[in-house]
Structure 1
Amino acid sequence: MNPELVLVRLGELTLKGRNRQRFERAVLQHIKRALGEFPELEYKPEFGRVKIYLNGRSYSDIAGPLAAVFGISSFSPVYAASLEPEALQAAAVGLMQALEPAPRTFKVSVRRVNKSYPYDTHELNRLLGGCILRALPGIKVDVHRPDIELKAEIRSEGALFYHQVTEGAGGFPVGTNGKAALMLSGGIDSPVAGYLAMRQGLELEAVHFHSYPYTSERSQDKVKDLARKLSQYAGGPVRLHMVPLTDLQTAMHRAYGGNLYITLLRRSMMRIAARIAEANGAGAIVTGESLGQVASQTLPSMNAINAAVRIPVIRPLVCMEKREIIRLSERIGTYEISILPHEDCCTLFLPPNPSTNPKLKVVESMEDKMPWLKEAEDSAILRTETVHADAERTEDDALSAFF
């Protein structure tokens, strides 16, 4: 049996009160964009749901793209039937007979939306369960832990049957909660932070700092591939701002090479990211920092670095363990790209013992002795290149560039 439609359930965005319709329109727009290569599909929005009529298209073709759309709680392939009792029984039996492998136990759960239907919920459960027991020899009812739970909705226009519920990406449609700038490195953490930020409805402008020629062009290509992967969840291209940091780093190292070097560098990077964010209408900075992971990610270090900007800094990973971050990166498809060899700009001129407890007054005093710093940051911004990273390049193409 081929399903006639897909029933999409919207998630927590339905709790937004007066803003509910705006959020539902946004998630429908993202669904249509994700499934844009299938023009035969038809869409019917309902309260907290969207029906997608397949019109002959295979469910397997759309399940993958649909699972990446934020704002979806779950979705199911659905089989339709008319409301005559014989049609309901035929649909229930046909669906159960088509299952492979054949289930040993089952349960029927009916939801009667059409309250005027002559059979109540308990009568419908018995009607459908009984015909399944007669049609499938050896199958048994198990109301606690069935192999298959056959669900039926009795609506005014007809009945809907389904047994498969696929978990969606959840969260909010990208862009419905504003825009932020993601500080995107080539590592494991920052792409995951970007994914989590988008899941909460943030549109992203990605900012990457490189130290060419100390870091290679291949390292920059890797970050572009990470941005392309994130664009699959963004519903469109992600703008990636490539900031050349070499001149600023070498000047800072000549002026000071002690244990506060990383703190000073990160403050400059934060100021540059904030200016790029504000120039592009972004109201926050997103980073992949996790508390205590490296010297610049201790609480005193993060406080000293944060103080360089007034714009809010969002750290989705701040209390996550590394293994949790790795598992999530594997699930969203960024891990295999992130572990490819690359050079990080922050490792250039890294002092042997970077400070884990920088004092803000000391750091600010040192910056006061660097009158050239503002001009160096201005120069880095002026020489920034912006590219549009989209998902058209396949992951295999991206990975093959490294071998």
Structure 2
Amino acid sequence: MKWDLILIRYGEIALKSSYVRRQLIEKLKSHIIKSLKQNGISEYKLRSPRGRIFLETDNIQESLEALSYVSGIVSYSPCITVPTDIDKIIETSINIGEKHLKDKVSFAVNARRIGDHNFTSQDLENTVGNHLRKKYNSTVDLDNPDFTVNIEVRNETTYIFIDTYRGLGGLPYGVQGKVVSLFSGGIDSPVATSLMIKRGCEPIALYIDKGRYGDKRENKRAVKVAKKLSRYTPNGIKYIQIDFEDIYNEIKNNAGKKTCIICKRAMYKAAEKISKKTKAKGIVTGESIGQVASQTLDNLMTLDESTKLPVYRPLTGFDKTQTQQISIRLGLYKESKKDVGDCPILPNKVSTISNINEIKKLENQMNINKHIEQIIEETTKKQTLTP
């Protein structure tokens, strides 16, 4: 049994107007092609009849792996294609079932149909199901089968498959525009960035270098994780690094319990200036409500006040376990979880409630805005990271 084609499904793209839908499908196809090339696949055919994309290739396994990196794909299945002929469909279904049904496991047949035919989807399920049951003496279980034969009839061609792989879902990469992501390389910020990628955003990863107040391991981790995450983009991830050592020095000596709030506001301000330079449309963070003291609702409001740009927090309602699960699924967790030491300027007690006037007064005393202008002009390093 040899699969000869991969059936690719998209979701919300189908809900768009016909003009927008065509644009998004073409964008999705171009990203599929780029992902295939990254896996060394150069020979294939790609077509997109209404509601589906079909990938014809001899490199099925490599192509399945390539599709797992493309946002906008809901699911995909390797198929065997046959003419829409009942006898041929039955014969192929029996051949597929031989490996799975010889041990007398339960099964189901799931059929859907597009076009005009002299049979219904239910007719097809009953006919194929009866032949499989008699051939292998197996039990039909429509609620919880051990094995399912899926049959998709599309006019004169039928696609038969048994496995459906979960895709990233969402929208094609980049169709919503750019965002600047505060990116440490830990567990949270890469996952938050990935969720914006699947919503059609193009992230610019902004890494804040702490200088002598940081650990070089963190810098290396951020670069490695960004490279891994870049596989989920067609052209790599823009990575920007700025030196916050002077700002950390000011905050350490003057902020006290307000250290975390003022530090994070400074990062927001820097991200806003980078956004203006790169024409990005917002700031992305890995914050989750109440996860740490600086992420109380009160403090998040104070953080938001530091910028006129929208702040996107995809992990707002996530707990740590949920975020870790996504990190593992994306292949980022092993690198992201590496210990890079604690923040050396973290105060013994972090304020969970902040007064905006008091915060602004401290920022003015430390000339935070002036420092940010200077470091962006003098220390910004840019590169594009690829796997």
Question: Per the alignment, do residues 217 and 21 of structure 1 end up closer, same or farther by CA in structure 2, a change over 3 Å counting?
Answer: same
2:175 maps to what in 1?
Answer: 176
1:48 maps to what in 2?
Answer: 51
Structure 1 vs Structure 2 CA RMSD = 1.9
Unaligned 5+ runs, structure 2? none
Tell me the alpha carbon deviations over residues 166-206 of structure 1, each in whole angstroms, 9 at most, x when there is no partner: 22111111111221111011321111111111111111000
1:386 maps to what in 2?
Answer: 382
Unaligned 5+ runs, structure 1? 392-403
In the alignment, which of 258, 282, 285 is matched to residue 283 of structure 2?
285
Instruction: Count residues with an aligned counterpart.
Output: 383
Residue type at the aligned position of 1:380: I
Partners in 1 of 2:122 and 2:291 — Cα distance? Answer: 56
2:226 maps to what in 1?
Answer: 227
The 5-angstrom pairing of residues 250-261 of structure 1 reads 250-254=249-253, 256-261=254-259
In the alignment, which of 257, 272, 275 is matched to residue 273 of structure 2?
275
TM-score by length of 1: 0.89
The structural deviation recorded for 1:86 is: 3.0
Question: Per the alignment, do residues 320 and 101 of structure 1 end up closer, same or farther by CA in structure 2, a change over 3 Å counting?
Answer: farther
Tell me the alpha carbon deviations over residues 225-261 of structure 1, each in whole angstroms, 9 at most, x when there is no partner: 111121111233111111110012213434x142122
Question: Per the alignment, do residues 291 and 130 of structure 1 end up closer, same or farther by CA in structure 2, a change over 3 Å counting?
Answer: closer
In the alignment, which of 38, 43, 61 is matched to residue 41 of structure 2?
38
Question: Per the alignment, do residues 118 and 110 of structure 1 end up closer, same or farther by CA in structure 2, a change over 3 Å counting?
Answer: same
- Answer yes or no: is the 8 Å Cα contact 1:80–1:159 preserved in 2: yes
2:149 maps to what in 1?
Answer: 150
Question: What is the DSSP-based 3-state SS (H/G/I as helix, E as strand, rest coil) of the residue aligned with 2:212?
Answer: coil
2:345 maps to what in 1?
Answer: 349
Tell me the alpha carbon deviations over residues 105-148 of structure 1, each in whole angstroms, 9 at most, x when there is no partner: 22223323231x33344443343233323433x22333333222
Partners in 2 of 1:100 and 1:361 — Cα distance? Answer: 71
1:124 maps to what in 2?
Answer: 124
1:311 maps to what in 2?
Answer: 309
Question: Per the alignment, do residues 271 and 132 of structure 1 end up closer, same or farther by CA in structure 2, a change over 3 Å counting?
Answer: same
Question: Per the alignment, do residues 125 and 258 of structure 1 end up closer, same or farther by CA in structure 2, a change over 3 Å counting?
Answer: closer
Give structure 1 regions of 4+ aligned residues with deviation exceeding 6 angstroms: none
The structural deviation recorded for 1:213 is: 3.1
Question: What is the DSSP-based 3-state SS (H/G/I as helix, E as strand, rest coil) of the residue aligned with 1:260?
Answer: helix
Residue type at the aligned position of 1:147: D
The structural deviation recorded for 1:79 is: 0.7
Question: What is the DSSP-based 3-state SS (H/G/I as helix, E as strand, rest coil) of the residue aligned with 1:140?
Answer: coil
Question: What is the DSSP-based 3-state SS (H/G/I as helix, E as strand, rest coil) of the residue aligned with 2:111?
Answer: strand
Partners in 2 of 1:350 and 1:153 — Cα distance? Answer: 58
The 5-angstrom pairing of residues 3-402 of structure 1 reads 3-17=3-17, 18-36=19-37, 37-54=40-57, 56-57=58-59, 59-99=60-100, 102=103, 104-115=105-116, 117-136=117-136, 138-254=137-253, 256-343=254-341, 347-370=343-366, 372-382=367-377, 383-391=379-387
Question: Per the alignment, do residues 338 and 143 of structure 1 end up closer, same or farther by CA in structure 2, a change over 3 Å counting?
Answer: closer
Partners in 2 of 1:88 and 1:293 — Cα distance? Answer: 54
- Answer yes or no: is the 8 Å Cα contact 1:103–1:147 preserved in 2: no
The structural deviation recorded for 1:101 is: 7.0
Tell me the alpha carbon deviations over residues 63-91 of structure 1, each in whole angstroms, 9 at most, x when there is no partner: 22212211111111111112343322221
Residue type at the aligned position of 1:238: I
Q: Which range moves more in the overlay, 31-40 or 101-110?
A: 101-110
The structural deviation recorded for 1:368 is: 2.8
Residue type at the aligned position of 1:130: N
Question: What is the DSSP-based 3-state SS (H/G/I as helix, E as strand, rest coil) of the residue aligned with 2:170?
Answer: coil
Residue type at the aligned position of 2:53: V
Identical amino acids, percent of aligned pairs: 27
Question: What is the DSSP-based 3-state SS (H/G/I as helix, E as strand, rest coil) of the residue aligned with 1:180?
Answer: strand
- Answer yes or no: is the 8 Å Cα contact 2:4–2:56 preserved in 1: yes
Question: Per the alignment, do residues 139 and 364 of structure 1 end up closer, same or farther by CA in structure 2, a change over 3 Å counting?
Answer: same
Partners in 2 of 1:85 and 1:303 — Cα distance? Answer: 63
Residue type at the aligned position of 1:49: R
Question: Per the alignment, do residues 126 and 101 of structure 1 end up closer, same or farther by CA in structure 2, a change over 3 Å counting?
Answer: closer
Q: Which range moves more in the overlay, 2-11 or 332-341?
A: 332-341
- Answer yes or no: is the 8 Å Cα contact 2:74–2:166 preserved in 1: yes
Partners in 2 of 1:349 and 1:149 — Cα distance? Answer: 57
Question: What is the DSSP-based 3-state SS (H/G/I as helix, E as strand, rest coil) of the residue aligned with 1:375?
Answer: helix
Partners in 2 of 1:91 and 1:213 — Cα distance? Answer: 66
Partners in 2 of 1:239 and 1:129 — Cα distance? Answer: 52
Partners in 1 of 2:336 and 2:231 — Cα distance? Answer: 16
Question: Per the alignment, do residues 313 and 122 of structure 1 end up closer, same or farther by CA in structure 2, a change over 3 Å counting?
Answer: closer
Question: What is the DSSP-based 3-state SS (H/G/I as helix, E as strand, rest coil) of the residue aligned with 1:99?
Answer: helix
TM-score by length of 2: 0.93
1:394 maps to what in 2?
Answer: none
Question: What is the DSSP-based 3-state SS (H/G/I as helix, E as strand, rest coil) of the residue aligned with 2:77?
Answer: strand
Partners in 2 of 1:107 and 1:362 — Cα distance? Answer: 66
- Answer yes or no: is the 8 Å Cα contact 1:173–1:200 preserved in 2: yes
- Answer yes or no: is the 8 Å Cα contact 1:14–1:24 preserved in 2: no
